[in-house]
Amino acid sequence: MARDVFGIEPPAADEASHVAALKLVRTWLEAGDGAGTVFFVVDAPDAEGLAASAIGAVDQRLPNSRNPSGLSGYVYGVCTDDRYRRRGYSRLVMRALLDWYTAQGIPRVELHASAYGDALYRELGFTEPMGVALTRWAQ
């Protein structure tokens, strides 16, 4: 999925880079640097762990006529454990996240969809942006 969404090859679960990345995220969250980041989860109904999760954040952008506050939401990711697919859990966490954005007065939310979630996101009102979205990675 990381290849589809971000154009990168995900590391294997046992690779040192994957473990290091998890430590960075944990440190970032524990330090409070994740303020404005929100998580919605569905606990696995018959096992330990999560069945599904959605992670979102709030960005401050320049205000404009359609968005006077300049606040914008970004969906970092929606994941569902393979054992719990096709049960509506991704829809549930996405609706919770979108409701949270609405309650915060955030009028605009964007995401980068993979083929797995494209139909769901369109059903929830997401459309393709005007213009071409481009990304540049530092060399």
Model confidence over 108-136: pLDDT tens digits?
Answer: 999 999 898 999 999 999 999 888 888 89
Query: pLDDT grade, residue 12 (50/70/90)?
Result: low
Note whether 107 and 51 are same-domain residues.
yes
Q: Which amino acid is at 87?
A: R
Domain range for 102: 36-123
Whole-number Å distance between alpha carbons of 18 and 91:
27
Number of domains in the chain: 2
Model confidence over 101-114: pLDDT tens digits?
Answer: 999 999 999 999 98
Q: Is the pTM of this model over 0.75?
A: yes
Note whether 29 and 83 are same-domain residues.
no
For residues 58 and 20, the model is more confident at: 58
Q: Which residues pair with 58 in a beta bridge?
A: 73
4 closest CA partner among 110, 120, 115:
115
